[in-house]
Amino acid sequence: MIVTYGTVGAVALKQATTTIPIVTVSSGDPVGRGLVASLARPGGNITGLSGVNRDLSGKRLELLKEVIPKLGRVALLWNGSGGEPSSDNFKDTEVAAHALGVQIQSLDVRSAEAVESAFKSATDRKTQGLIMLPSPFTTAHATRIVALAIQNRLPTMFSQGVLVESGGLMSYSANLADLARRAAVYVDKILKGAKPADLPVEQPIKFEFVINLKTAKQIDLTFPPNVLARADKVIK
């Protein structure tokens, strides 16, 4: 058996073997990426836990708007290359933005050089907040994105708590520790004879809201008490 984390590894393993059981932890859209036939009936040698919940994108924008009540324009930093998981997140955020009366500025970055120019575009257009959509590309450049967000005093929502621990302002994401614990249940069932094809892929059910007050102070932002009280982790 193979246990893997994330979408990239799961896709590579699917191409490498169709017989060895594979349990994924926090993969992107497993159906859209061709990892499984459906969530209910995976149908092959792969099963496990998706890190995707279609409500996540809307919740991130809702929280950002609570922190910035007058938020009228938000930039989405994403990578629109074919196969990138941020495409679905972009569409889901657009839907949420329409419902909240917020305008979207698309910052489609596909090179390291484009990251800095994206922030310049956001500040030039007086964008009030930014959301970094999850993808291998944005994660690879996350350190630079965190630094630019602080440098430009642009309140930014991330999709990984670890980025807030390293200086990001805030994040809302699936609880990775919970996904890892639940993956162990899949491993146990398969070792006892269950087939991955018959084990439904589960979506996250526990989420984590992380806030960094050090960063908030650096960009002169104050979190409303009601938002601060709902954080699962506060970095002081």
Same domain for 231 and 114, yes or no, is yes
Same domain for 38 and 132, yes or no, is no
Same domain for 12 and 79, yes or no, is no
Same domain for 227 and 162, yes or no, is yes
Same domain for 100 and 155, yes or no, is yes
pTM, rounded to two decimals: 0.89
Same domain for 132 and 224, yes or no, is yes
Share of the chain above pLDDT 70, in %: 98
Same domain for 29 and 40, yes or no, is yes
CATH code, 14? 3.40.50.2300
Same domain for 121 and 160, yes or no, is yes
Residue-wise pLDDT tens digits, 21-78 = 999 998 878 988 899 999 999 999 999 999 878 789 999 999 999 999 999 999 999 9
HEC profile of the chain: CEEEECHHHHHHHHHHCCCCCEEEEEECCCCCCCCCCCCCCCCCCEEEEECCCCCHHHHHHHHHHHHCCCCCEEEEEECCCCCCCHHHHHHHHHHHHHHHCCEEEEEECCCHHHHHHHHHHHHHCCCCEEEECCCHHHHHCHHHHHHHHHHCCCCEEECCHHHHHCCCCEEEEECHHHHHHHHHHHHHHHHCCCCHHHCCCECCCCEEEEEEHHHHHHCCCCCCHHHHCCCCEEEC
Same domain for 146 and 226, yes or no, is yes
Please tell me the least confidently modeled range out of 5-14, 177-186, 220-229. 5-14
Residue-wise pLDDT tens digits, 83-101 = 555 777 888 899 999 999 9
Same domain for 99 and 147, yes or no, is yes
Range of the domain at 36: 2-52+175-207
Same domain for 60 and 19, yes or no, is no
Same domain for 11 and 127, yes or no, is no
Q: How many domains does the chain have?
A: 2
